[in-house]
Amino acid sequence: MSLPRLATVLLPFSLMCVVPAHSQDAGRPETEFFGNGVAISVLVHDPSGDLISAPAVVKLYRGGTIPAGQAETSRGVAEFVVNNLGDFTVVVEAANYPKTQKEFSLGATGRAQVDVYLPRRINESRPLLPGRPVLAPKARKALDEALQSLAVDKLSEAEKHANDAARLAPNHPDVLYLEGVLFLKQHQWKKAQLVLENATQLDPSDAQAFAAFGMALCDQEKYDSAIAPLEKSLQLNPASSWDTRWALAKAYYQQARYDQALQMSQAALSSSNGKAPEIQLLVAQSLTAVGRYEDAAEVLRDFLREHADRREAATARRWLERLTTGGKIRSN
């Protein structure tokens, strides 16, 4: 099972744009890179548009849930360097502000600037959740090194650094989430389930952790149990990635909740923007399950027209033939 990815945030005040960064160098070592990397400057603004003065934690994810870096802002700016292009998610956590998440894409190497505008402050009269535990410098260094290795799929190096981080901060939710994603990448589903469940208990506001937890359950075919954390991820972040919706659609389908499977798989296909055309097969399955045979056949034909070279094409042809021979659709 792949990991979550793309969508749009519904908060009207949480705006972000990706534009070429200013030409001047920030002068910080982490902004220097070589080869095909991208230096990303994340600028965190308060609702008035000014850069925030208080420190904020900025987390970067590749493809929705694969950690790609974590940094604290300095004068409202956090710097990252990545070696991959594609879809990314940035999450900003600042005191007295709701957690803000947005997605963006990198299509070229060089430099990029991401401007994140925080929504209005949380009502000061309401009780705030306790602050997240602070990582000691050695644990932070180990976590950052693990994130860097994981972001470029160097799993053995990531595991070494993650073990160091876990030894130094065994119950920190960020460390547990990192371990869980690493276990998912290693196909160690049961271990991933255990640490990710713990991560969601320690930080019940982390949409990515709930999504990854649900996927670990799906990978073990525990579809009934997977539905709750996947739904929770979407509740926490209505803009959760298309992979989250795809996983939830699969879980719905396996539990014979076909109407919901159809709705969720169509949403996943739409928000994936062509990145995972195989979702069409789940859409076709769901359409068939609710008795919309001609619509299912049309989805399969579309898939074969556009993706005849993919390995899923054989399955699409077989299903189309079954619909025809079974008298469910008109033969052409």
- pLDDT computed for residue 19 by the predictor: 34
Residue 41 in this model has a pLDDT that exceeds 80: yes
- Give residue-wise pLDDT tens across range 66-109: 888 899 999 899 999 988 888 888 899 888 777 888 888 888 88
Architecture of domain 137-325: Alpha Horseshoe (1.25)
Please state whether 319 falls in left (phi above 0), alpha (psi between -120 and 50) or beta.
Answer: alpha
Helices of type H across the chain: 137-151, 155-168, 173-185, 189-202, 207-219, 223-236, 242-254, 258-271, 279-289, 293-306, 313-325
- pLDDT computed for residue 119 by the predictor: 77
For tokens 């097969």, name the residue.
281
The arithmetic mean of pLDDT across residues 37-51, rounded, is 86
Task: Fold for 16-117, please state it.
Answer: Immunoglobulin-like (2.60.40)
Q: What is the mean pLDDT of the chain?
A: 83
The arithmetic mean of pLDDT across residues 155-184, rounded, is 93
What are the boundaries of each domain within the chain? 16-117, 137-325
Instruction: Tell me the pLDDT band of 123, cut-offs 50, 70 and 90.
Output: very low
Q: In what order do the strands lie in the sheet with 38-45?
A: 16-19, 110-117, 38-45, 77-82
Residue 127 in this model has a pLDDT that exceeds 80: no
Specify the range with the lowest mean pLDDT, choosing from 4-8, 150-154, 213-217, 296-300.
4-8
Strands 86-93 and 100-106: antiparallel
